[in-house]
Structure 1
């Protein structure tokens, strides 16, 4: 089974593909860009990254493999785990190439180092678009000449005297009207201020008497106990799968619930939530022994 090809197919349609017990491949949209050094134009694309913490089976990859291979869900799960185990063994000594996705290796601290294949564009909106190289365009920059004001000395000194007097009189008349308007506006503001002050004094001195007061009602509000400890059953990309998982767990007697969406966009489902850490830990060990070994404890405070 070529597991890498199935992951590759799903990344064209989904933003996250989780490989159970291995990690998740995530795509992030990158806008079109221009390389000014080479005058190359790149279309919008999807950049791939890898996160080893996204390793809880959400059913997407397993269902796709089962449908493509025409096998059962359990058989697809086993085949994927066998492929993952072979990847892990090879990673201890070599760098592995995962199809067209890129290469994966371990550094000295045993941390995963993923190098994506930049030649493959998983953004379907950019299908058929490739890198374009353009010639450099040198734009003509016109020099702007500074404006120089030329004053005619004859016109400057040749203004008749009576025109100067008329202009001066017009300015004084305008100032007179402006001063009168300002005086009227100040007077109106003072009247309004006195009226507002009188109204405030009446309101402050007024008393209100209620002859028939309503009876007092006492409400006993029960404070909800915080439950920050959650035994996680799984994280799902599709909310419908999360709801199905909750219904399955409730039928088995668990107080299952949906906690919400985490920072990777996955909907988390809990077997049960607890206010006491010891009770949560005991429940986790019991669930791992009897129901699911993949269960883990999430603390939200």
Structure 2
């Protein structure tokens, strides 16, 4: 394992690494970004940053390298110094180079800059998100046939049924059975009362012959008395 990989392992376990006579590597939160190379949406991650300090004196990383590689502290310190001296010479020569495990060292007329690698750790900060390919999403969207909006069509049919059925029932009742809707009209009640036939009055006829006979009988005794 080279020194760059040792720095990366120390970052994953400790979050910060002080490399003697070079600087401090650490991790910072980086939000989701769109990759310029392939157009992927990269999820949130941890990105390596560097604070350059050639005067730094720290032995913790030396002990870490000695332990992880199973070598002495003197050997570990020598390997670290050899690697950092090589990087410093390139930086002083204003050469841009890339270290696979850490990131890109850029030098130009404006100065030195470091663009660290993005590290995806098993951390709640990244929310378990994965990279999304925008080009694949757009191609799938183009090739996918458009689905008819069945739900909207069913809603229209349902509303038509709700409106048409009651209207049809009301129209039928209005035409054939208006009395169910509006009741019997008052003038029709008066009409039925006026047109009711009057009952015939029974008259009793007296028999004229019976009247005459009764008169005769009443007059007979008077004549006999005379």
TM-score between the two structures when normalised by the length of structure 2: 0.48
Query: Considering only CA atoms, is the larger Rg found in Structure 1 or Structure 2?
Result: 2
Larger helix fraction of residues: 2
Tell me the TM-score normalised to structure 1 length: 0.37
| Higher RCO (Cα < 8 Å, 6 or more apart) | 2
